[in-house]
């Protein structure tokens, strides 16, 4: 196998990077599509109103900002930066523990009635129909917990940790 200028990280890190970038890209695409769908439905409402803050615009910007974080962490993991490993462990822990608690019904999200007071911020994630009590977010919590646990197992593996202690030198 020919030597490359940039050595490839271990296979589990490569897989984790691919999953992180793919999921992040999907979240950015989904938020952009939801935002433009909302704009098409609400044609008469201006995008920026000087008298009020458009919560849909703020929500779209916040979700896209959050979706960029895994891309930045993935780039750091690819280059085997120890800060990226540490922040990825924090990131996946922050996702996994609440997802486990929600899956086991130790905590519950806000009721759909309370969400009606803040319209369109979490569109298509939480159901605001009171006849359908389970939200999409509650359905994906077990999957979020499993994927985050797998990511943590990869990142906390001692063999993988060695790759971050001695980053490769460029040829």
At residue 58, the pLDDT reads 74
Q: How far is the C-alpha of 15 from the C-alpha of 28, rounded, in Å?
A: 20
Whether 65 maps to a domain, the answer reads: yes
Whether 6 maps to a domain, the answer reads: no
Sign of CA dihedral 33, 34, 35, 40: positive
Provide the residue range defining the domain that includes 156: 11-165
Whether 21 maps to a domain, the answer reads: yes
Q: How does pLDDT run across 34-44, given as a tens digit for each residue?
A: 777 666 666 55
**Pair of tokens at residue 17:** 């990077």
Q: How does pLDDT run across 126-170, given as a tens digit for each residue?
A: 444 555 555 555 677 788 889 999 999 999 999 888 888 765 565
The pTM assigned to this predicted structure is 0.71
Tokens 């109103």 -> residue: 49
Whether 52 maps to a domain, the answer reads: yes
For residue 92, count CB atoms less than 10 angstroms from its CB and return exposed for 0-12, middle for 13-18, buried for 19 or more: buried
Is the Cβ–Cβ distance between 31 and 120 less than 8 Å?
Answer: no
């Amino acid at each position: 196998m020919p030597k490359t200028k940039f050595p490839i990280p271990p296979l589990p890190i490569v897989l984790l990077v691919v999953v992180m970038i793919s999921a992040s890209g999907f979240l950015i695409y989904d938020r952009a599509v939801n935002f433009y769908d909302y704009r098409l439905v609400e044609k008469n409402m201006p995008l920026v109103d000087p008298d009020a803050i458009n919560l849909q615009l703020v929500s779209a910007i916040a979700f896209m900002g959050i979706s960029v974080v895994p891309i930045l962490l993935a780039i750091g993991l690819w280059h085997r930066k120890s800060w990226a490993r540490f922040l990825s462990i924090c990131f996946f822990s922050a996702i996994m523990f609440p997802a486990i608690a929600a899956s086991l019904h130790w905590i519950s999200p806000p009721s759909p009635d309370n969400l009606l007071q803040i319209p369109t911020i979490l569109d298509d994630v939480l159901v605001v129909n009171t006849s359908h009590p389970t939200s999409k977010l509650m359905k994906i919590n077990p999957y979020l917990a499993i994927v985050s646990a797998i990511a943590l197992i990869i990142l906390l593996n001692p063999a993988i940790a060695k790759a971050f202690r001695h980053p490769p030198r460029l040829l």
